[in-house]
Amino acid sequence: MADTGMGMVGRLAGREFFGHRAVPLAQTRRKRRLLLLIFGIPLFSLGIAGGVSAQAQSLESGLRRVPVGSAKEPGVVQDGDQSRPDDPNERSTGGPAQPRDKLAQSLSRQWFFEPSLLVRETWTDNIALQSSGSKSSDWVTELVPGISIRGKTARLQANLDYSLAGIVSARDSQRNNVQNSLNALGAFEAIDKFFFIEASAYITQQAASAFGVRPTSSISDTASRTETRYFSISPYLTGFFGSRASYELRFNQAVTRTKGNLVQDSDSQSWAGRMASSAEQTQFGWLVELEDARDSVKNGLGTHAAFVRGTGSYNFGPPLRLFARVGRELNDYSSEDRANATYGIGLSWALSERTSLDLENDKRFFGHSYRYAIRHRTPLSSWSLSASQDITTSSIQLSSRPDSSAFGRVFDLLATQIPDPVERSVRARQQLRDAGIPEEQISRTAFLTSRVFVDKRAEASAALLGARNTLAATVLWSRNRPVSSSNGIEDDFSRASSVNGRSLAVDLTHRLSPFSELRTGLSWTRNSSEGGIDILETTQRALTLALVKQLGPKTTGSFGLRTVRFDSSAPGTGDYCENAVYGSVSHTY
């Protein structure tokens, strides 16, 4: 197993950095399937056996003591209630208590299924997002069934939000299409406190190029946008060496797939291990990490990177921790294999329960990798300021939702009203759907590429909650430059040595009554290039205004206006403007 993390450590120790170059995706799939079978089947079988045993014990004990929701029910003892169990023969308004029935009810309350349906009718004066001389209007109907699933048991946690949008054009049937949207996370404790499995899945509509047309709604299906799917599974082992140290060994397999030929499909595989001092050692701490990762591209050569790193820290009481680290990394991103020493320092400081400061800076092969962030929260506001630089890929960015997205701003804004993050996530998506605002109004992924690149960015955000007004704003600046070769694959880096972006987004909600709100969204985005033959620049301005009214306990209606202006100097992309009016009704079951 020369490609495992232990093999990487041997190569670092013996200075034999690479046994071979990364190979095309088609030549690595059989090996990865074999690794998954060898690693996954025995451990997963043990996990299933442990899970079944634990579930049986849980069911048996649940017959005697079953936790339920916040409401006190006869015949059942709640968590934290030290009084004796109620008499199972005691009668309530519903008749004789039935322990097994109550157990089933309690178990069902650990899982929440919330189907929904949204119907939206939109009139737009520019369905194809063309220049003024080629504009054509259209009526578009959207039928969007969806489901939200939330579950939490002793061994399993799962959160899933999925919707399927059917889009029908009144004048051009060739524009009829179906779009998927998925956000799913799951974690399973297969063997008690030892073997875990995490999984995630995302399906989003992404812009393939920073210099192409960027639709602000789902009805304008343009050639520059593609449905992108990301799936990952990560089994890992964790435990303790007595009371002095903890360890973790993790394997991760991820795949990224896109419709069409705009971006190449890719697979990634990594092994990672870490060993850290116990939390009981409060003053001095240490951490040793290693990782070996390979990325493969469908029609090109992949990449290989590995590192080993050690960190020492000193805690000045709970609020302040200083740390320094040193290590060695290797990669084949350029035409030559290279290995470099790395070192860095940082601090983590909790100034108060609501204010935190994080600073870290490392010397890397591409320059400096850093992350500076300060966050402050009050009961009615949230503030953050951050700057960062690191290498990344489109797949990594797809797997992490940025705070600067429309979803991130609304999610953060609802923190005071809805402390539960899962319930808050559902409510944030519902609000965006009702107002007709895309979740990725400002996206961390400005474009898709199969290369590894340096992502440098700075962003500031604020959210204010008032008696009748709610305000959320984000400012973002970014610069991306490649560090790996193109392998003959065309992307934005084929036309520019760096891609720069600037964005501003403001969302304002005004409560007209207990059952109605006026929501306004304003966004401005500019992407530009450096170092290319052509000067590429696009600017987009969008304004949405929506009246949202609660029609019933589970039914919401909305009426909205949207106007978009897009200017471009990129070849093959023209200027356009769009005005649209829409009305929608959504219902949760």
Pairwise CA distance, residues 485 & 450, whole Å: 10
- Looking at residue 504, its pLDDT comes to 92
Model's pTM, two decimal places?
0.74
Neighbours of 433 (CB within 10 A): 22
Per-residue pLDDT at 7: 44
pLDDT in tens, 334-366: 877 889 999 999 999 998 888 999 999 999 999
- Give the mean pLDDT of the chain: 78
**Interatomic CA distance for residues 152 and 133, integer angstroms:** 55
Instruction: State the DSSP code for 77.
Output: P
Tell me the pLDDT band of 71, cut-offs 50, 70 and 90.
very low
If pLDDT is split at 50, 70 and 90, which confidence band does 402 have?
A: low
> Would you state the pLDDT for residue 27?
47
Q: How confident is the model at residue 67 (pLDDT cuts 50, 70, 90)?
A: very low
pLDDT of residue 545: 93
Backbone Cα Rg of the chain: 26
User: What pLDDT, on the 0 to 100 scale, is given for residue 280?
Assistant: 61
Question: What are the backbone dihedrals phi and psi of residue 534, each rounded to the nearest 5 degrees, phi first?
Answer: -100, 155
The pLDDT value recorded for residue 412 is 67
Where do the structural domains in the chain lie, given as residue ranges?
Answer: 22-49+114-588
Q: What is the mean pLDDT of residues 484-509?
A: 85
Rounded Cα–Cα distance for residues 23 and 110 (Å): 46
Q: What is the distance between the alpha carbons of residues 526 and 96, in angstroms, rounded to a whole number?
A: 67
Decide if pLDDT at 85 tops 60: no
Q: Which residues contact residue 502 at a Cβ distance below 8 angstroms, ignoring those fewer than 6 apart?
A: 476, 477, 478, 525, 526
The answer as to CATH 1.25.40 being correct for domain 22-49+114-588 is no
pLDDT at position 439: 55
Task: Identify which has the larger pLDDT, 48 or 364.
Answer: 364
Average pLDDT rounded to a whole number, residues 484-504: 84
Q: Which pLDDT value is given to residue 406?
A: 61
Give the three-class secondary structure for 465.
strand
Taking the C-alpha atoms of residue 184 and residue 204, their distance in angstroms, rounded to an integer, is: 12
Higher-pLDDT residue of 156 and 98 is 156
Taking residue 44's Cβ as centre, other Cβ atoms within 10 Å add up to: 15
Question: Residue 435: what pLDDT?
Answer: 57
Supply angle C-alpha 116, 120, 121, rounded to 5: 165
Q: Tell me: pLDDT of 182 over 50.
A: yes
Return the closest-CA partner of residue 113 out of 150, 146, 144.
150
Strands in 379-483 per DSSP E = 381-392, 453-465, 469-482
Residues 6+ apart with CB under 8 A from 48: 190
pLDDT at 90 over 50: no
Residue 46, classed as helix, strand or coil, is helix
Residue 580, pLDDT above cutoff 90: yes
Alpha-carbon distance of 565 to 570, in angstroms, equals: 16
Residue 405 — pLDDT band, cuts 50, 70, 90? low
For residue 73, the model assigns a pLDDT of: 32
- The stretch 70-86 carries a mean pLDDT of 35
**Confidence tier at 261 by pLDDT (50, 70, 90):** low
Q: State the Cα–Cα distance between residues 168 and 176, nearest whole angstrom.
A: 5
**Cα–Cα distances in angstroms (integers) from residue 93 to residues 65, 67, 75, in the given order:** 21, 20, 12
CA distance 321 to 135: 59
pLDDT in tens, 4-37: 444 444 444 444 333 344 444 444 444 444 444 4
Confidence of residue 297 (pLDDT cuts 50, 70, 90): confident
Residue-level pLDDT at 466? 84
Quote the CA–CA distance of 343 and 365 in Å, as a whole number.
Answer: 11
For residue 91, name the pLDDT band (cuts at 50, 70, 90).
very low
For residues 503 and 264, what is the distance between their CA atoms, to the nearest angstrom? 27
The answer to whether 350 touches 333, Cβ cutoff 8 Å, is no
Q: How far apart are CA 276 and CA 241, in angstroms?
A: 10
